[in-house]
Amino acid sequence: MKSDLQSLQGCRKILSLEIDGQILNADSLGAAKLTIRGNQFVSTGMGAIYEGTIEIDSGAVPGTLGMMFTNCPETGNTNFGMYKLSGERWRIYLATRGAIRPKEFVAVKGSGIAVELLERESEVAG
């Protein structure tokens, strides 16, 4: 059986993003993507490129993650979160400030929590 990190390999389009209880307009997401190769991630398409490493603990209930930023405006920061993985869809609940981890699957105003819904992109032969 594949680990969640193995299942998350590849590129996912960001379908929706909510930060601090505010839903971003779908048009503002454009071609935003998150790509995972090994334990490295690259997020593009929302005004900057964010790179770093990701740790996934699929044994935790719910699954948890840590994103350590290494080459971007957030370099040196680590954001902690939890996630739900269902088929090709991945929902991330990520704290955007401080060394906290969300305790609930919500992003209310003032919480500093971002909720992203991602879906695997089809591989296109090129």
Domain CATH number, residue 72:
2.40.128.280
Q: What residue numbers bound the domain in which 83 lies? A: 4-119
Give the number of domains in the chain: 1
**Which SS3 state, helix, strand or coil, does residue 26 take?**
helix
- Residue 20 within a domain: yes
Strands (E), the chain: 10-19, 22-23, 33-37, 40-44, 50-57, 63-69, 78-86, 89-95, 113-120
CA angle 97, 101, 105 (to 5 degrees): 110
Q: Of 11-20, 55-64, 100-109, which gets the smallest average pLDDT?
A: 100-109
- Residue 72 within a domain: yes
Distance from C-alpha of 108 to C-alpha of 12, rounded to nearest angstrom:
25
User: What pTM was estimated for this model as a whole?
Assistant: 0.87
- Residue 125 within a domain: no
- Residue 76 within a domain: yes
Mean pLDDT of 15-40: 89
- Residue 124 within a domain: no
- The pLDDT, as a whole number, for residue 124 is 46
- Residue 126 within a domain: no
